[in-house]
């Protein structure tokens, strides 16, 4: 009885059976789980399946009517664009010139005519530049006296003003002390007893050959050194010192009158070295006599040094001398009974004939000119 009571009081458990896919039933667990209703919004959408790749499209042949309409589109002329806008095709004119556009050629060259006399004016552009440069360097009709002196290479303009105030400058035989005095090209200006010219100083070193005389003009129409340096300078040059017709070697030509006086005056003692070739061997006694001094008409010819030339026969000697008497070297040896067969000056005032062929010349460098001025 007790069992029945207890059984009646307790609620009965509900058994829920689940049907399988196969249709068979199986007992549910003791405690049933109540499943919540599924929310369709929380569920992630399923991935869409990939679309199959499209098959390549086969080309379609045009009909005759379609082909004709397609050709007509290319036969139409292209519309011109405004002048302000340029495209790549219209700007590139290589095809036009490669094909030989005659219209462009006629526009450029048909009506062109060279003016008369242009060939003569532009015959030599380099020659024209040279003349223009010389025109700038040449003095004008009238210039200031201090500039005239400065252009001659004597001193600067400021120093020239001091020389003018001291009365050391003469114009046409009259002493001028006025500042700013104008000088004409035809005026004769003298400074320190020497005529000067307002030209750029030029210094030319010549290796004189045999058969030329060292003068500007010759009455007998013989060849002079001026013929050899005709193209060396646009200004008139003068030889510094003289070499007789049969003597060869270095000789300086310049338009600097002040430098000429300095190099030729006996007080400056400019040294000269000669290579002498005699008709016979020079005795030792005669060599010593020349070293001591040989008396000539002007007085005793003092020689700075004399010696045999190493590696040469005894008839060739070198002699250094500073006196500038006429034909002094030849007369020294003639006094002792020797004849000079060849006389070559190898150095003058520190200038040598190195790298100058016989009959050729060269312009002195700035360093050489400065050395001459400092002597």
Catalytic residue list:
244
Q: Give yes or no for a contact between 131 and 234, defined as CB atoms under 8 angstroms apart.
A: no
C-alpha distances out from residue 146 to 31, 151, 198, Å: 137, 9, 10
CA–CA gap between residue 368 and residue 375 (Å, rounded) = 11
CA–CA gap between residue 358 and residue 212 (Å, rounded) = 12
SS (H, E, C) the chain: CHHHHHHHHCCCCCCCCEECCCCCEECCCCCCCCCCCCCCCCCCCCCCCCCCCCCCCCCCCCCHHHHHHHHHHHHCCCCCCCCCCCCHHHHCCHHHHHHCCHHHHHHHHCCCCCCCCHHHHCCCHHHHHHHHHHHHHCCCCEEEHHHHHHHCCCCCHHHHHHHHHCCCEEECCEECCCCCCEEECCCCEEECCEEECCCCCCEEEEEECCCCECCCCCCCCCCEHHHCCCCCCCCCCEEECCCCCCCEEEEEEECCHHHHHHHHCHHHCCCEEEEEEECCCCCHHHHHHHHHCEECCCCEECCCEEEECCCCCCCEEEEEECCCCCCHHHHHHHHCCCCEEEEEEEEECCEECCCCCCCCEEECCHHHHHHHHHC
Q: Phi/psi zone of residue 122: left (φ > 0), alpha (ψ -120 to 50 degrees), beta?
A: alpha
CA–CA gap between residue 198 and residue 184 (Å, rounded) = 10
């Amino acid at each position: 009885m007790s069992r029945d009571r207890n059984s009646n009081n307790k609620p009965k458990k509900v058994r829920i059976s689940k049907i399988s896919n196969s249709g068979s039933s199986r007992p549910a667990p003791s405690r049933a789980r109540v499943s919540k209703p599924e929310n369709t919004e929380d569920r992630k959408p399923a991935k869409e399946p990939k679309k199959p790749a499209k098959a390549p499209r086969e080309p379609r042949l045009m009909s005759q009517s379609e082909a004709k309409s397609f050709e007509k589109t290319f036969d139409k002329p292209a519309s011109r664009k405004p002048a302000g806008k340029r495209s790549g095709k219209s700007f590139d004119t290589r095809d036009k010139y490669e094909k030989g556009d005659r219209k462009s050629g006629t526009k450029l060259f048909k009506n062109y005519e060279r003016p008369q006399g242009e060939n003569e004016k532009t015959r030599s552009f380099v020659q024209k530049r040279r003349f223009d440069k010389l025109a700038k360097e040449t003095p004008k009709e009238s210039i200031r006296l201090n500039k005239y002196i400065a252009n001659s290479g004597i001193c600067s303009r400021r120093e020239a003003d001091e020389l003018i105030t001291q009365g050391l400058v003469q114009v046409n035989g009259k002493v001028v002390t006025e500042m700013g005095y104008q000088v004409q090209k035809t005026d004769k200006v003298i400074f320190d007893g020497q005529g000067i010219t307002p030209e750029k100083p030029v210094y030319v070193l010549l290796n004189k050959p045999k058969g030329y005389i060292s003068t500007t003009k010759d009455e007998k129409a013989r060849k002079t050194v001026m013929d050899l340096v005709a193209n060396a300078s646009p200004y008139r040059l003068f030889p510094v010192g003289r070499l007789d017709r049969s003597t060869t070697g270095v000789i300086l030509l310049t338009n600097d009158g002040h430098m000429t006086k300095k190099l030729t005056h006996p007080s400056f003692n400019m040294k000269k070295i000669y290579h002498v070739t005699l008709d016979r061997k020079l005795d030792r006694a005669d060599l010593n006599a020349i070293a001591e001094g040989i008396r000539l008409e002007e007085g005793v010819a003092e020689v700075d040094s004399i010696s045999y030339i190493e590696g040469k026969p005894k008839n060739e000697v070198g002699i250094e001398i500073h006196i500038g008497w006429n034909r002094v070297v030849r007369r020294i040896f003639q006094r002792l009974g020797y004849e000079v067969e060849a006389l070559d000056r190898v150095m003058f005032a520190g200038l040598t004939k190195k790298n100058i062929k016989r009959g050729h010349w060269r312009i002195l460098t700035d360093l050489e000119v400065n050395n001459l001025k400092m002597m």
